[in-house]
Structure 1
Amino acid sequence: MFKLPQMTLSIRFKLFTTLLLTTGSVVLCMYLMMLWSFDRGFLDYVNKQEQQKYVEFSEALAEHWQENNSWEKLSNNRRSWDNLLNQYIDFPEFNDRDRGPRSFGPPGDFQRPPPPHKIGNRPLLLDKDQNMLIGRAIDLTNIQLHEIIVEDEVVGFLGQFPQKKLADELDVLFVEQQSRAFMLSALMMVIICVVAALPIAAHLVKPIRHLTKGTQRLISGRYKTVIPITSNDELGLLSKNFNTLANKLKENEKARQQWIADISHELRTPLSILKGEIEAIQDGIRVSSPQTINSLHAEVEHLNLLVNDLYELSMSDIGALNYQKSNIDIGHVLQDTLDSFRTEFENAGLTLAFNSKLKKIHHVFADATRLRQLFSNLLKNTLRYTDRDGRLEVEISAQPDEISIQFKDSEPGVSEAELEKLFERLYRVESSRNRATGGAGLGLSVCQNIVSAHDGTITTKASPYGGVWISVRLPALGFSKGAHKKRELL
């Protein structure tokens, strides 16, 4: 079956249509409300005018009562009633306005009917007991009665039929003219809204177009893309966040490229040495002696450590490292690790000082193996980068909610700007961190992941001895997020 392609509507068209429909609906509602209000208000105005005439007519009827002391003259002589009625409200004798001339006087005296009036029904005259004297009415519930009072006594009632619709031709014509004026005004407002909605929709969509084009450039790999921020509203905030995202992607891409270059360099160097050594033995340039074998073994060991560091770092990043957590004595773990490194520090000409401020045994909910790896990496960091005859001071203390472990080594130091980058992968300070010291710049990154897995923090700052001060803080037992677990898989 053939399917028609779906028509894609632009957001500008949708926004324009929304503005137009909303404005058109408001204008239509305003037009209908104004029309209804005007019709009702004008009808009330006409009824109030009639009511005033009825009040004046009731006063004239009160004077007639005072003169005659009865309604017999009016009820028996309709001509007198009509003459008195026409003096105050100019009501014709007949409701049929298309009838010819009517005689109201003696024979031969013809008059034109009075001009049409707003009143649609002739008034009624009732006595004080509301008995009908003049007029016809089946139901008096919808009739407004005006009291005829003489010397504070009600002597009768004048009945008025309130109008429910306009009857006078001029009134109807006036209302029709106003209705047409309202309609014309509504159409003009809609036209103005159409003209105004087009540039407004284009202005509102402009930042979205910038975002669309910028996103397409990001997809194509142009991470230097920056879009203009034209407002301080939500779209402006979105544009600002887009620029932040683009800058972050640019930094990540740069870091990725640097990462690949550094990894290639770190892997290629020991492989090149191994290849050269083996080829030299094959060509008979070097003899396969224990010294040569030890040199090859050292390069293999260096390559193995690098691969292991990369593996553990990648596994930690994806949350695939197993942490066998339990309640352990952190002071004992730290002491054992320091004791295992004392010989290496003595051979390197470094002093290893340990200061424990713990008054009692303190337990943490942690993986003892990973903590040993953490402490070992920090100690190796000092062994690799601290000058001979230097020192490392390790201090452990306890707070109610955390255990603090401080590592302060001696020169060489690290600048303030470089301290923040020590935990970046493969980062090495040029003046002190080079391959001759045996470091690939992954150890501190692994340390940071281990500390994070234990809900702790690790920070760096300048050491009072001229080197680097690394501070590790781990939550005390009972304050760890995972203290209720015996085993945690990250």
Structure 2
Amino acid sequence: MHPLTLSKKIFLALATLLVVLLLIFAGFSIFGLKRGLGPYVAEIEIRRMDWLAQILQVHYAGRGNWDRLRDVEAWHRIEMGDIGLGASVTDGVANDAADRRLPPWYARQLPPGFGNWPPPPPPPVAGFFEGARELPDSPDSVYQRLGLLDAAGKPVAGATGDLADAARLPLRQHGRTIGYLVLSPLKGLESEADRAFLARQSGFVMLTGVAGLIFALAMSWLLARRWFAPIDDLMQGAESVARGRLGTRVPVRGSDELALLGRTFNSMAERLDTIDASRRTWLANAAHELRTPLAAMRAEIEALQDGVRSFDDKTALRLHRQVMRLAQLVDDLRSSMHEAEDQAPVRAPVFPLTVLAEALAATRARFEQRGIAIEAPGVGPSSAVWETVVDGDSRQLHQVFGNLLENTLSYTDAGGCLRIDASVAETADGRRLVLRFDDSAPCPAPQDMPRLFDRLFRAEASRDRASGGSGLGLSICRTIVEAHGGGIEASASPLGGLRITLVLPLGGHA
């Protein structure tokens, strides 16, 4: 059985969540429909009783209170549309046969069309006989659910009990509320019509929920595939890289976090591919460098074995030189292979300019033989930075300076010049010693500058391979300088050759 992928897990989780939400939605919708249908019907019913509200308003205007309606018989008569307890209206003028206290201006307050009184009585109710004055006793009857409240909300007549959910129709006079006509909602929805209505509405809610669920599931599946497709691509790309196919790249779409992850993966794969190609090139170059002295030694030995040459001091000297060259090459290879943390210097206060002066003194004769002038006025004992101190290893720093000088000797044309300058720079990380080595022509090509510190690299077009060393000197310099917490870089020199800029952090000693 194949394990579930991340996209399928997310889809199943979303599907489960959507089903639960649908069930909750349907349950609460049906429950709310059952609870809210009664008050809704009561609200509709009471809005159709404006005729009763007008009778009650006329009654209150004629008597100024609701005291008469506290009698059950009087309230029943009002419910049945009997206006004898209120007032009669003739030609738009309200007249009270029982009590003549209606103000003379009341006729102007009656709504338009009020002169067509009395309004038609409500349709006869089953079981109601006009002379009996009896109301239906069914609890769902509108007459049993109808009531009157005064302006303070206290019951006057009709329905009693909890009227919090009852529908209310305000009764007003001169813009002032004088009471409320209230109608309690149905207690139960047990009729066939009620059940049919609830069934239709519940079916509609369920149908809507199922349609929404299908749409949501389809969108969830599409989004899960869209969102997690880059992750699948990354997984396949990682497996491909793990198998050694370093040229693998994943497609990148958009600019979100997954796109950033894809670009990072491609950058990592490209770097690994570059490192692998560099490793192969380095191995080929190392094999070639080692083959040269070994081939010379083999030729000398075979000549001795064949009797072509006799073993004398000159032959011994040639063999010794090849062995020393081979030993030096092996040492350089081993040094260049160390990382910065492996080259951790023995920390001690060192005067770097003094070490540089020693390296210059050791190579000055060779510079004179090549006719290369040395200009170093800023690094002598009279310079302002002569007594600067760094925490490091004097032997390793001497090797760095020696390699830089050897680089100039190997590649600068005869009759050229080497200029060395030193200064102290203030940076955010503290004070640093900056040394610049500028030599004269030739200069490496601009595209070769970043690779000058790679192992076994030579800019063949501008620097003669035969006159050069192993191609490891600058690589060793970078390893040692970075171990000291500094940096080294190459650029074009204003003298027409190469500029090497070396930066070392200064210690706390003076």
Q: Distance in 2 between matches of 1:332 and 1:33?
A: 88
Q: Aligned runs of 1:93-172 on 2, under 5 Å?
A: 102=127, 104-105=129-130, 119=142, 121-123=144-146, 161-163=184-186, 166=189, 170-171=193-194
Match for residue 371 of structure 2 among 328, 349, 371: 349
Deviates more, 1:197-206 or 1:124-133: 124-133
Instruction: Say whether the 8 Å CA contact 1:349–1:388 is kept in structure 2.
Output: yes
Kindly indicate whether residue 448 of structure 2 is the aligned counterpart of residue 426 of structure 1: no
For residues 451 and 234 of structure 1, the distance between their equivalents in structure 2, rounded to whole angstroms, comes to 37
1:330 alignment partner, one of 320, 328, 352: 352
Does 436-445 or 270-279 show the bigger shift? 270-279
- Decide whether aligned partners of structure 1 residues 157 and 248 sit closer, same or farther in structure 2, where only a CA change above 3 A counts: closer
**Structure 1 residues 201-248: Cα deviation after superposition (integer angstroms, max 9, x where no partner):** 334443333333333332222222233334333333333333323322
1:467 alignment counterpart: 497
Moved more, 453-462 or 237-246: 237-246
1:77-96 equivalent positions in 2, closer than 5 A: 80=77, 83-84=80-81
Distance verdict in 2 for CA 1:359–1:60, change over 3 Å: same
Q: Report the secondary structure of 2:349's partner residue.
A: strand
Q: Residues 448 and 458 of structure 1 are in contact (CA less than 8 Å); yes or no, is this contact kept in structure 2?
A: yes
Q: Which amino acid aligns with 1:17?
A: L
423-432 or 214-223, which deviates more: 214-223
Task: State the aligned residue count.
Answer: 463
Change in 2 beyond 3 A, CA 1:106/1:431: closer
Paired position in structure 2 for 1:60: 55
Q: Does 1:264 align with 2:287?
A: yes
Mapped to 2, the partners of 1:188 and 1:146 lie a distance apart of: 40
Q: How far apart, in 2, do the equivalents of 1:72 and 1:112 lie?
A: 16
**Structure 1 partner of 2:392:** 366
Identity %: 31
The worse-fitting range, judged by mean Cα deviation, of 270-279 and 256-265 is 270-279
Deviates more, 1:270-279 or 1:23-32: 23-32
Amino acid corresponding to residue 474 of structure 2 in structure 1: L
Q: Describe the shift of the 1:142–1:434 C-alpha distance in structure 2 as closer, same or farther (beyond 3 A).
A: closer
Give the aligned residue type for 1:310: L
Partner of 1:95: none
Question: What TM-score, normalized by structure 2, do the two folds share?
Answer: 0.75
Greater alpha carbon shift after TM alignment, 183-192 vs 286-295: 286-295
Residues 53 and 88, structure 1, Cα contact 8 Å, conserved in 2: no
Task: Write the distance in 2 (CA, Å) between the matches of 1:29 and 1:159.
Answer: 34
Q: CA deviation at 1:19?
A: 3.8
Cα deviation per residue 1:161-192 (whole Å; 9 max; x = unaligned)?
Answer: 45566576545543432221111111112123
What SS is found at the alignment partner of 2:469?
coil
**Cα pair 1:390 1:409 within 8 Å, conserved:** yes
The 1:362–1:56 alpha-carbon spacing in structure 2 relative to 1, beyond 3 Å, is same
C-alpha distance after superposition, 1:229-279 (max 9, x if no partner): 343333333333333233222222211111111111111211222222233
CA distances 1:282-314 after superposition (whole Å, capped 9, x unpaired): 443322222222211111111111111122222
Letter in 1 for 2:349: N
Aligned-pair CA distance for 1:42: 4.4
Q: How far, CA to CA, are the matches of 1:204 and 1:157 in structure 2?
A: 60
Distance verdict in 2 for CA 1:73–1:404, change over 3 Å? closer
- Cα 1:387–1:81, aligned 2, differ >3 Å: closer, same or farther? closer
CA distance in 1, matches of 2:493, 2:148: 113
Paired letter, 1:463: S
> 1:286 maps to what in 2?
309
Structure 1 residue 36: Cα displacement: 5.5
The answer for unaligned runs of 5 or more in structure 2 is: 83-118
State whether structure 2 residue 432 is matched by structure 1 residue 402.
Answer: yes
Q: Which moved more, 1:200-209 or 1:402-411?
A: 200-209
In the alignment, the residues of structure 2 paired with residue 263 and residue 187 of structure 1 have an alpha-carbon distance, to the nearest angstrom, of 71
* Structure 1 residues 333 and 62, CA gap change in structure 2 (3 angstroms): closer
Pair 1:207 & 2:207 matched: no
Q: By how many angstroms is 1:30 displaced?
A: 4.8
Give the match's secondary structure for 1:356.
Answer: helix
Q: Is the 8 A contact 2:441 2:497 kept in 1?
A: yes
Going from structure 1 to structure 2, the CA distance change for 1:112 and 1:425 (only over 3 Å counts) comes to same
Q: What is the RMSD of the two structures over their aligned residues, measured on CA atoms?
A: 4.4
Aligned counterpart for 1:414 among listed residues 444, 463, 476: 444
Match of 2:5 among 3, 10, 15: 10
Q: What's the counterpart of residue 217 of structure 1?
A: 240
Between the aligned partners of 2:299 and 2:139, the Cα distance in structure 1 is 124
Residues 394-442 of structure 1 deviation map (CA, whole Å, 9 limit, x = unaligned): 2222234221211112222211111221111100121355553251111
Letter in 2 for 1:60: I
Do the aligned partners of 2:135 and 2:143 also contact (CA within 8 Å) in 1? no
| Counterpart AA for 1:326 | A
Q: What's the TM-score once normalised by structure 1's chain length?
A: 0.78
| 1:447 alignment partner, one of 472, 477, 486 | 477
1:230-241 alignment, distance < 5 Å: 230-241=253-264
